[in-house]
């Protein structure tokens, strides 16, 4: 399981190692070696200690897992966290969020909000996230500087948005950004038509053609609420997912976000097309949007990943907490206590997210040759004892405050709970200042 050509850059020695692939495996007293940003060795502790390594880290009481993959969010919206709570989706959007965006969103807002989101996610064990928000080039710069990994989905709507006066301009900018970053080792540019009710057929067809030419992913809110589906059927006689299928958008490069409404016909379309579904349980619960039938999708063979959505509707970017909610909710929705067990829940938050993004050959599991995107969870605390199954303990009894260390491509972004490349105090002060401006308490 190793090549011993050169010394390891780093050897990690945790109590437990959960590779995610193969499924359901927990390795006890194993080591993981990193060389040149990739996983170079996984094997028993005794064998690991015989290898030359520049640095050895003992991680007693810790569980190593692949870094968490947050498959849907709007990073800069952290600056709207708690701005308009306890409202239904369309009221929340039309009366509060869209007016606030029109007033406040500019490049500085996106930079500061994205940096805040990146820091929160790193501290919560997330190594890769999907972002769908305005000024995507600014967000890309933030990701580049942070050392994190991300999928940046370029928002496209039929009306003007901050940073783009039309859908055509947004597409033009997107193609340019895709070209600029296509060789970036940690950033993947994708296309993000907002939702079926905000993008017309002509623009969806343009997006499909461009995405096919560039072999790019499409990321879209679909079937978020019953109202959305009902309105589409009343106006056109067609469910939104069926419309997307007719326009040729569905497929392995399509990410359908939310999907709380799934008929038998919808399920057949998802299965036939090999479309991924991104499940955002807490945002859907808070906006009373409905329940994605995760277990039904999983049993049918649909790839289901998990996302936090934006902090304006969640209100945190806590993917570990989101995964716990997803596991609980799946059982209630399926009426079965065996639905979405802890190991599958962790897979949904790691490898399934990587697969949805087309990154599963690089990240999402701890395998030799993959990028060293790794998180160490500290399970030594009082609230985690005793430990019978460390993965169950991680999902059902552990909070994100147990994230101790995090690496992306072998580089430490969190060391003993401390951010290594970002100034937490400065980020907090900047966020407070934005909050005062937006709430009108300062000019």
Which residues have CB under 8 Å from 150's CB, separation 6+? 128, 129, 130, 131, 139, 140, 143, 186, 187, 188
Q: In this structure, is residue 432 part of a structural domain?
A: no
Q: In this structure, is residue 415 part of a structural domain?
A: no
Give the end of a domain, one of 295, 325, 356: 356
**Do both 155 and 273 map to the same domain?**
yes
Longest dimension (CA), the chain: 68
**Do both 391 and 349 map to the same domain?**
no
**Do both 312 and 337 map to the same domain?**
yes
Q: In this structure, is residue 435 part of a structural domain?
A: no
- The domain that contains 175 carries what CATH number? 3.20.20.140
What is the residue-level pLDDT of the chain in tens, covering all 443 positions? 544 569 999 999 999 999 999 999 999 999 999 999 999 999 999 999 999 999 999 999 999 999 999 999 999 999 999 999 998 888 988 999 989 999 999 999 999 999 999 999 999 999 999 999 999 999 999 999 999 999 999 999 999 999 999 999 999 999 999 999 999 999 999 999 999 999 999 999 999 999 999 999 999 999 999 999 999 999 999 999 999 999 999 999 999 999 999 999 999 999 999 999 999 999 999 988 999 999 999 999 999 999 999 999 899 999 999 999 999 999 999 999 999 999 999 999 999 999 999 999 999 999 999 999 999 999 999 999 999 999 999 999 999 999 999 999 999 999 999 999 999 999 999 999 999 999 986 54
Q: Please tell me the total number of residues recorded for the chain in this structure.
A: 443
Q: In this structure, is residue 87 part of a structural domain?
A: yes
187-193 and 149-156: which strand pairing?
parallel
Which residues have CB under 8 Å from 424's CB, separation 6+? 119, 418
**Do both 99 and 26 map to the same domain?**
no
Q: In this structure, is residue 98 part of a structural domain?
A: yes
Q: In this structure, is residue 425 part of a structural domain?
A: no
Domain around 377: 10-66+371-409
Pairwise CA distance, residues 191 & 400, whole Å:
30
**Do both 136 and 242 map to the same domain?**
yes
Tokens of 84: 């308009």
Please name every residue paired with 351 in a beta bridge, in sequence order, or none if there are none. Answer: none
Pairwise CA distance, residues 371 & 407, whole Å:
10
Could you give the angle at the alpha carbon of 317 between the alpha carbons of 418 and 139, nearest 5°?
Answer: 85
Q: Which is nearest to 107 in space by CA: 64, 138, 73?
A: 138
- The domain that contains 41 carries what CATH number? 2.30.40.10
Question: Is 296 in a helix, a strand, or coil?
Answer: helix
**Do both 344 and 232 map to the same domain?**
yes
Q: In this structure, is residue 364 part of a structural domain?
A: no
Tokens of 86: 């306890």
Q: In this structure, is residue 216 part of a structural domain?
A: yes
The answer to whether the beta carbons of residues 163 and 134 sit under 8 Å apart is: yes
**Do both 274 and 330 map to the same domain?**
yes
The answer to whether the beta carbons of residues 239 and 171 sit under 8 Å apart is: no
**Do both 298 and 197 map to the same domain?**
yes
Q: Strand (E) positions, 330-392?
A: 374-378
Instruction: Specify the number of domains making up the chain.
Output: 2
Q: Give 265's Cβ-side CA count (13 Å radius).
A: 7
**Do both 169 and 245 map to the same domain?**
yes
Question: Is 155 in a helix, a strand, or coil?
Answer: strand
């Amino acid at each position: 399981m190793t090549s011993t050509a050169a010394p390891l850059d780093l050897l990690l020695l945790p109590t437990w190692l959960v590779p995610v692939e193969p499924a359901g495996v927990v390795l006890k007293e194993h080591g993981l070696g990193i060389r040149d940003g990739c996983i170079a060795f996984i094997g028993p502790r005794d064998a690991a200690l015989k290898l030359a390594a520049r640095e050895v880290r003992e991680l007693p009481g810790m569980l190593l897992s692949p870094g968490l993959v947050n498959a849907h969010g709007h990073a800069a919206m952290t600056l709207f966290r708690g701005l308009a709570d306890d409202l239904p989706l369309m009221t929340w959007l039309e009366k509060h969020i869209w007016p606030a965006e029109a007033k406040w969103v500019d490049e500085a807002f996106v930079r500061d909000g994205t940096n805040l989101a990146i820091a929160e996610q790193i501290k919560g064990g997330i190594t890769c996230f999907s972002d769908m928000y305005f000024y995507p080039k600014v967000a890309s710069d933030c990701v580049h500087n942070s050392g994190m990994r991300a999928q940046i989905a370029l928002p496209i709507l039929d009306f003007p948005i901050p940073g783009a006066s039309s859908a055509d301009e947004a597409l033009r900018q997107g193609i340019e950004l895709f070209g600029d970053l296509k060789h970036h080792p940690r950033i993947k540019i994708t296309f993000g038509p907002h939702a079926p009710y905000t993008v017309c057929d002509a623009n969806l067809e343009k997006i499909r053609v461009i995405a096919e030419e560039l072999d790019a992913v499409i990321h879209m809110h679909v079937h978020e609420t019953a109202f959305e589906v009902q309105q589409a059927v009343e106006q056109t006689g067609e469910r939104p997912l069926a419309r997307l299928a007719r326009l040729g958008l569905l497929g392995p490069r399509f990410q359908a976000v939310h999907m709380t409404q799934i008929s038998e016909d919808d399920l057949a379309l998802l299965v036939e097309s090999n479309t991924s579904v991104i499940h955002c349980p807490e945002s859907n619960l808070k906006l009373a949007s409905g329940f994605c039938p995760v277990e039904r999708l999983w049993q049918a063979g649909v790839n289901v990943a998990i996302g936090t959505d934006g902090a304006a509707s969640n209100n945190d970017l806590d993917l570990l907490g989101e995964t716990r909610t997803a596991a609980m909710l799946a059982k209630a929705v399926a009426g079965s206590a065996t639905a979405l067990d802890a190991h599958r829940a962790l897979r949904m938050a790691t490898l399934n997210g990587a697969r949805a993004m087309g990154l599963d050959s690089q990240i999402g599991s701890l395998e030799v040759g993959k990028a060293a995107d790794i998180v160490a969870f500290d399970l030594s605390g009082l609230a985690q004892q005793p430990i019978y199954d460390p993965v169950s303990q991680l999902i059902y009894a552990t909070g994100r405050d147990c994230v101790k260390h995090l690496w992306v491509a072998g580089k430490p972004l969190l060391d003993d709970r401390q951010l290594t490349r970002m100034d937490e105090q400065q980020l907090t002060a900047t966020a407070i200042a934005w909050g005062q401006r937006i709430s009108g308490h300062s000019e």
